[in-house]
Amino acid sequence: MRDHGPAVWQTAYRLLANHSDAADCFQETFLAAFEIAGREPVRNIAGLLVRLATTRAIDRLRQRSRLEQRQTDAIERQPPDDEPDPLERAHTNELASQLTEQISRLPPQEARVFCLRYLNDMSYRQIARELNIAVSMVGVSLYRAKARLRAALADTQTQHNEVSHANKT
């Protein structure tokens, strides 16, 4: 845990951006890894932990997104106490927040492939081995994920610009 804990924590916190959610994800990841290590031999413990952390973080992100979706759009979401200042967050992590939100809307496999590739710097071969899919499938999933994310980010940015322009006028 001393060797791989920081990597797991960064993986969880990057996607969730929330201390309590990241802590839950961190614990779940190591519990799951411990169970897997008890059942079968593990060749690459670092890859297993990163894969589990990514999967659980994406699942938690999707749950959070669905919960927010259910709430009324008129009610603004109240940020948790341990989140940073909203203004600061808006300035520094606006694009990151949009990206995590769009990742939560991707199909699960595409989201996992995207996160493992671009947030954890894993190779196509490592991703294929961890997710138990073909290397070509990794490429296809990654291409689709990037295309969806580009389009979604561009739409979000356009809407944001329109709202800003309307507020100014």
Long-range contacts of 136-141 (CB under 8 A, 24+ apart): 138/113, 141/109, 141/110, 141/113, 141/114
Q: With helix as H, strand as E and coil as C, how does 44-97 read?
A: CHHHHHHHHHHHHHHHHHHHHHHHHHHCCCCCCCCCCCCCCCHHHHHHHCHHHH
38 binds other proteins (CB under 8 A): yes
146 binds other proteins (CB under 8 A): yes
Residue from 13, 110, 112, 142 binding other proteins (CB under 8 A):
13
96 binds other proteins (CB under 8 A): yes
Cβ proximity to other proteins, 22 vs 113, nearer residue: 22
Cβ proximity to other proteins, 71 vs 123, nearer residue: 123
For tokens 């699960």, what's the residue?
108
Would you tell me which residues interact with other proteins (CB under 8 A)? Answer: 1-6, 9-11, 13-15, 17, 19, 22-23, 26-27, 30-31, 33-35, 37-39, 41-43, 45, 92-93, 95-96, 98-100, 118-119, 146, 149-151, 153-154, 157
